[in-house]
Structure 1
Amino acid sequence: MAYDRYVAICRPLHYGTLLSSRACVQMAAGAWGSSLLNALLHTANTFSIPLCQGNAVGQFFCEIPHILKLSCSHSCLQEVGIVVITTCLILGCFMFIVLSYVQIFRAVLRIPSEQGRHKAFSMCLPHLAVVSLFVSTGMCAYLKPPSLSSPSLDVVVAVVYAVVPPAVNPLIYSLRNKELKDALRKVSVGQK
């Protein structure tokens, strides 16, 4: 999405060639392939560690930190390597998004008309909101200090991370829809 917005705003005359169906297939294959590789590495590592403290995880889905707590193996070198690979993938995607939006905002701020700037920003802000929501909830889920960790808090954070961004995603993107905006205005006026 960030690349799509970048091309649409910064290189509009080249949109058809830069985002051809072949380019879209290549980008989708790259995203799916890297995600599949990451999932396979974590799954293989999870099944290779011995569990000494049973196999019951206090979550509604198995997260790697909770599985590692059940392990009796103190050799976490494999997991550290996989976390480094995962971190590189995440940072690469994050930096690509950030650099795309820096270019977009630079181009938008050079647009002379207020209406043109508003149209360009309204095109980008929904995607930026979804990415920010996903990144912030993910950071809360995985980067919170162990001193704040409790079973109930871990469940709440995991639910927020897994449920809120996908649930809010359609709402955020539909706010660009004129009919939905008109309906929201009618409801807000009717409540006053």
Structure 2
Amino acid sequence: MNDDRFAHPLRPAASQTVRQKILYKAFPLPKYPCIARISGPSLILAAGSIMAGLKTTLLAFHLMTFAGLFMPSLTAHASPVETTVPAKKQDAVYQLRVYEIFETNKAAFHERFRDHAMRIMTRYGFDIIALWEAKTDQRTEFVYLIKWPDANVMRQGWEKLMADQEWSAIKAKSAAEHGAMVGEIQEKVMTLTDYSLIPTGLPRP
């Protein structure tokens, strides 16, 4: 006769259900009965508690890992010490050019400036804002305004224009055909005041 009282305390007894037997078969227990009998439902509850604890531990681990990804950036933003000092931006300048021109060949001058000078100037950073013609009792003037990022760029732009071979050839050809086209040249280099009203289309530096 099979008496369940003498069965292994952690092994399924004959009177245990099929489900309990399957559970014990899937998760074999130690051979030596050193602890009191644990019923099938109690074992399942204990395993559930262990799994819940593992899930909580894994969740905490993932949260700590996720937070660690942002710690360097948070530390960088929280640092009150600046490692670099931004360079001070130089003010743009406006260059006003006034040419004395002559009525006898004024049309040829405008044609040369419109079709050739402006095209070549663009290569070297000339930002021409506007062009005018003015007349006084003594002479006719051609006036134009150029915007530059700063005085150094302005100087380099003019140096490159004066060294441009195409421009030199065009000036020589027009002078041979029409004579001298420019007389006295005047120039003013200007910067806007901080309270200046800006006409429409004139960019502030």
Q: If the length of structure 2 is used for normalisation, what is the TM-score?
A: 0.19
Name the structure with the higher helix share: 1
When Rg is computed on C-alpha atoms for both structures, the one with the higher figure is 2
